[in-house]
Structure 1
Amino acid sequence: MDFLSDFLTRFGDKLQSPTLGFLIGGMIIAAVNSRLQIPDAIYKFIVFMLLIKVGLSGGIAIRNANLAQMLLPAVFAAAIGIIIVLIARNTLARLPKVKVVDAIATGGLFGAVSGSTLAAGLTMMESEAMQYEPWAAALYPFMDIPALVTAIVLASIYKSKESQTVGEDITQQEYLSKQAVAAGAGEYPSEPDYPTTRQEYRNQQREQQGKRVEIWPIVKESLQGSALSALLLGLALGILTRPESVYESFFNPLFRGLLSVLMLVMGMEAWSRIGELRKVAQWYVVYAAAAPLLHGLIGFGLGYLAHVTTGFSAGGVVILAVIASSSSDISGPPTLRAGIPKANPSAYIGSSTALGTPIAIAVGIPLYIGLAQTLMGGG
């Protein structure tokens, strides 16, 4: 009962958080058909400011870290971000009536990192007097960016293959139609490259299926997208320059207010597309309940491997598990909205914010701390 009470308390606190409050406010505004609109130029500016700030904070932390000690945990963090998206692509995306692009975007959001969940984890570890490397919190960009890029790339590959399939279906229909014309009227349009027999048509089909989707152009286009470009720019500036003064005086004070406006916009958009989610909402509930714990245990396992091989601290292992179990509330939504515009925000934001984050905080963090204290003594 204490566990259930603790979970419900944390869930209630989450409902009162500005992030979720403004998201729900945006949905209510849209539900009552309000004419309130946030101009697109303002939305883009807010996204730029938020992602630059996230990149700067990560870059500053990385610049101050011990890069040699950080190498293996950073590699594991990147691997976890990619694995989480692949899990969603091969589980959630295969469930009945779940749209593939929605599932991939959901995996991208769960693979990216929540700053609020990380902060909750650090606070709880401090209350337990659990020590960790000063640079451990800077692992989040190594998980965040690969997860978002992987999601955008997988969605682009899927859409490319889907377009090819549609094109092939149209070609087959044209072929059968022209064969019917030829049989009935004795006329066949003069098209040298068009198949004149079913066997030639099948041969062309095999050639089309044999063509591979080029991955690098999709990756390059993803990295050149406005959202990821801003995130990477902030990361580079944080590593290569010393932006602490402008970060503390300008970006950091504005952060929470801008994030609230962003959530308002996302809530309005989520409501406009919530009808698409009604038939499959139960699958997102199941995914959002199970995914944080599964992802966190994957992070804990790889963190424990780093502990055994390089002496990565128990606290560091917990941090890796916490960021693996989290789902992004800052960098993820605008990046996925820009990179996978056909994905439904009601799916990936709703499952993350309403259920995934409370479970990651209320259930996941105590679980990983308990495991670390049992297996490694918490030192």
Structure 2
Amino acid sequence: MAELTTTLLSPVILFFVLGAAAAFARSDLDVPEQVAKGLSLYLMAAIGLKGGLEVSKAGFETQMLSVGLAGLVLSFALPFLGYVLLRALAHLDPLNAGAVAAHYGSVSVVTFVTGVAVLESDGIGPAGWMVAVLALMETPAIISGLVLARGTLGNIGRTRNVEGFGEHSIWREVLLNGPVVLLVGAFAIGLIAGPAGYAPVAPLFTDLFRGALCLFLLSMGLLAARRLREARNLKPVHVMLAVVIPLINAAVGLAVAFLLGLPPGTGAAFMILCASASYIAVPAAMQLALPRADAGLYLAMSLAITFPFNIIVGIPLYAGIAERLL
């Protein structure tokens, strides 16, 4: 309990709470969009670099392949579980259930970055190659969501005249979305540069990292709370599922981490990936591929409910469970 309280009271999480509280109080506090975007780019580059650096120092571990394969399978499979719950409990139509379910199989980069910072502050930082697992888990859920929404793989692609589908190729949006490209690229740079190459830029990407994360989470707290205030189609059952589905996914991640023999930090990071819900890459893909799906619903659930839940409650909870059971 003491460790959980310490994590909840960390500046990283408290800055998010501050942003949310300010938005609910209708304060004029704001983080300019371009500043928030710049902080996001910085955080993606920093976490990718540090992951590549750790791998360059320790080498590729044998667990990396098994965890990466498990992440791929879960990213594809978890939307099916979410789809069943959304259809049975929220009574969503197949189009919207598939669109929402895709968010809960993919990953939130910001949730992962925050989780890594919290785990490192607790002294149980995950393996550096978890950045690569994150990248692997981004895409399969999008494919699953489209299959569930449309009932076939045949309609996934460049389709202009098919009802519910956008004009441009979904594959470009899936494979070349900015955060994952930057993460993977920075990971490769850290891997190639090694400790000697990283040393000159360490003051920027290591010493300033936690402070930049605090400011970014302040902006995310403002955004999440304002999105929740503006939500029109959000019902109590949607709020409930936006909390329950991440918990179920985290439990699945914990079981896989236990079977693979992962240490607490890496296992907690895997739980965080399984429990997180994408609110950047997947919404962009869904708006492109399924423009008739209710964007207000899937954004409200993933960004306004699941993201704050994971930041404030989920990450400390997953870290505590992993420390005790793994």
* TM category, shorter: 0.7 to 0.9
The answer to whether the 8 A contact 1:102-1:347 is kept is no
Give the whole-Å Cα distance in 2 for the aligned partners of 1:293 and 1:357: 13
1:54 aligns with 2:47: yes
TM-score, normalised with respect to structure 2: 0.73
Greater mean alpha carbon deviation, residues 28-37 or residues 106-115: 106-115
Which residue does 2:6 correspond to in 1? 13
Q: What's the offset of the Cα at 1:325?
A: 1.8
Matches within 5 A, 1:1-379: 6=1, 9-67=2-60, 70=61, 72-95=62-85, 96-97=89-90, 100=97, 101-109=99-107, 113=112, 114-116=115-117, 118-119=119-120, 122-123=123-124, 137-152=127-142, 154=144, 157=146, 211-214=154-157, 218-242=170-194, 243-274=197-228, 275=231, 276-279=233-236, 280-301=238-259, 303-304=260-261, 316-327=262-273, 342=295, 343-344=299-300, 345-368=303-326
Give the whole-Å Cα distance in 2 for the aligned partners of 1:28 and 1:337: 25
Q: What's the offset of the Cα at 1:118?
A: 4.0
- The change in CA–CA distance for 1:102 and 1:91 in structure 2 (over 3 A counts) is same
The answer to whether the 8 A contact 1:23-1:264 is kept is yes
The answer to whether the 8 A contact 1:106-1:347 is kept is no
**Letter aligned with residue 304 of structure 2:** S
**How large is the Cα RMSD of the aligned pairs?**
3.5
Q: What's the offset of the Cα at 1:249?
A: 1.5
Give the whole-Å Cα distance in 1 for the aligned partners of 2:274 and 2:201: 21
The answer to whether the 8 A contact 1:325-1:360 is kept is yes
Tell me the percent identity. 17
- The change in CA–CA distance for 1:22 and 1:292 in structure 2 (over 3 A counts) is same
- The change in CA–CA distance for 1:109 and 1:330 in structure 2 (over 3 A counts) is closer
The answer to whether the 8 A contact 1:62-1:138 is kept is yes
Give the whole-Å Cα distance in 2 for the aligned partners of 1:32 and 1:297: 40
Which residue does 2:165 correspond to in 1? none
Q: What's the offset of the Cα at 1:254?
A: 1.7
The answer to whether the 8 A contact 2:103-2:278 is kept is no
Structure 2: gaps spanning 5 or more residues: 159-168, 288-294
Per-residue CA deviation, residues 37-90 of structure 1 (Å, 9 max, x unaligned), is 3222212111111000011001111222333xx2x4112221232333334311
Q: What's the offset of the Cα at 1:257?
A: 1.6
**Letter aligned with residue 358 of structure 1:** P
**Letter aligned with residue 199 of structure 2:** S
Larger fraction in helix? 1
Q: What's the offset of the Cα at 1:241?
A: 2.3
- The change in CA–CA distance for 1:348 and 1:362 in structure 2 (over 3 A counts) is same
Per-residue CA deviation, residues 120-169 of structure 1 (Å, 9 max, x unaligned), is 67549xxxxxxxxxxx71231232111223345555x369x66xx9xxxx
**Letter aligned with residue 254 of structure 2:** G
The answer to whether the 8 A contact 1:58-1:138 is kept is yes
Per-residue CA deviation, residues 232-283 of structure 1 (Å, 9 max, x unaligned), is 2211211222431233121112211211121112112211232454522222
TM-score, normalised with respect to structure 1: 0.64
Give the whole-Å Cα distance in 1 for the aligned partners of 2:24 and 2:44: 29
For residue 127 of structure 2, give the secondary structure of its aligned residue in structure 1.
Answer: helix
The answer to whether the 8 A contact 1:293-1:364 is kept is no
For residue 51 of structure 2, give the secondary structure of its aligned residue in structure 1.
Answer: helix
The answer to whether the 8 A contact 1:50-1:330 is kept is no
Give the whole-Å Cα distance in 2 for the aligned partners of 1:103 and 1:62: 33
- The change in CA–CA distance for 1:284 and 1:10 in structure 2 (over 3 A counts) is farther
- The change in CA–CA distance for 1:122 and 1:103 in structure 2 (over 3 A counts) is farther
Structure 1: gaps spanning 5 or more residues: 1-5, 125-135, 166-208, 305-315, 369-379
Which residue does 2:164 correspond to in 1? none
Q: What's the offset of the Cα at 1:326?
A: 2.5
The answer to whether the 8 A contact 1:288-1:351 is kept is no
The answer to whether the 8 A contact 1:106-1:348 is kept is no
Q: What's the offset of the Cα at 1:108?
A: 2.5
For residue 139 of structure 2, give the secondary structure of its aligned residue in structure 1.
Answer: helix
Give the whole-Å Cα distance in 2 for the aligned partners of 1:359 and 1:82: 24
For residue 35 of structure 1, give the secondary structure of its aligned residue in structure 2.
Answer: coil
- The change in CA–CA distance for 1:230 and 1:151 in structure 2 (over 3 A counts) is same
The aligned length equals 287
